[in-house]
Amino acid sequence: MLELVAENPVLRLMLLVFLFAVVAAAVYFMTQMFAERQVARRRLLGGAAAPGPSTIGTLRLERIESTWLKLVNSIEERGISLVDTKDAALRQKLIAAGYTAPYAPRLYTLIRLVMVIGLPVFVVMVYWLGGSSPTLFKLWFTLMIAAALGLYLPSLFIRAKADRRQQALVNAFPDALDLMLVCVEAGLGLEAAFSRVGMEMTTSHPLLSEQFGAVVLELRAGRSHEDALRRMADRAGADDIRAFATLLVQSTKLGSSISQTLRTYSSEMREKRRLRAEEKAHRLPVLISIPLVVCMLPTMIGLLMLPAAIRVARAVLPALGGGG
DSSP state string for 253-302: HHT--HHHHHHHHHHHHHHHHHHHHHHHHHHHHHHHHHHIIIIIHHHHHH
Q: Is 130 among the domain residues?
A: yes
Give the model confidence (pLDDT) of 68-103 as tens digits.
677 777 776 776 766 666 777 788 788 878 777 777
Q: Which residues of the chain have pLDDT under 50?
A: 47-59, 324
Examine the fold and report which residue of 275, 295, 318 is the final residue of a domain before the chain moves on: 275
> Using CA atoms, how far apart are residues 246 and 249, in angstroms rounded to an integer?
5
- Is residue 291 domain-resident? no
Q: Decide if 289 is inside a domain.
A: no
Same-domain check for residues 156 and 176: no
Q: Determine the pLDDT at residue 49.
A: 38
Question: How many domains does the structure of the chain reveal?
Answer: 2
d(CA 192, CA 197): 9
Task: Answer whether 214's CB lies under 8 Å from 232's CB.
Answer: yes
Residue 316 domain-assigned (yes or no): no
Amino acid identity, position 204: S
Q: How far apart are CA 176 and CA 169, in angstroms?
A: 10
pLDDT at 64: 57
- Do residues 45 and 154 both lie within one domain? yes
217 in the same domain as 95 = no
In a domain, 159, yes or no: yes
Query: What's the pLDDT at 276?
Result: 82
Q: Is 268 exposed, middle or buried (0-12, 13-18, 19+ CB in 10 A)?
A: middle
Among the three residues 275, 291, 312, which one is the final residue of a domain in this structure?
275
Condensed to tens digits (0 to 9), the pLDDT of residues 135-150 reads 778 888 888 888 888 8
Query: Residue 261: CB partners within 8 Å, gap ≥ 6?
Result: 247, 248, 251
Range(s) of the domain holding residue 41: 2-163
- Domain boundary at 124, 140, 163, which? 163
Is 133 within a domain? yes
Do 14 and 154 belong to one domain?
yes
pLDDT at position 199 is: 85
Same domain? 12 vs 63: yes
- Pair 57, 156 in one domain: yes
**CA distance to 120, 154, 223, 293, per residue, from 117 (Å):** 6, 14, 44, 42
- CA 146 to CA 144: how far, in whole Å? 5
Same domain membership, residue 151 and residue 7: yes
The reported pLDDT for the residue numbered 136 is 79
User: Are residues 60 and 183 located together in one domain of the fold?
Assistant: no
Q: For residue 4, what pLDDT is reported?
A: 56
Predicted confidence at residue 51, as pLDDT, reads 37
Same structural domain for residues 152 and 59?
yes
Q: Are residues 208 and 260 in the same domain?
A: yes
Give the Cα separation of 175 and 266 in Å (integer): 8
Specify if 302 maps to a domain: no
Asked if residue 254 belongs to a domain, the reply is: yes
Same domain, 184 and 82: no
Taking the C-alpha atoms of residue 124 and residue 70, their distance in angstroms, rounded to an integer, is 31
Answer yes or no: do 180 and 233 share one domain: yes
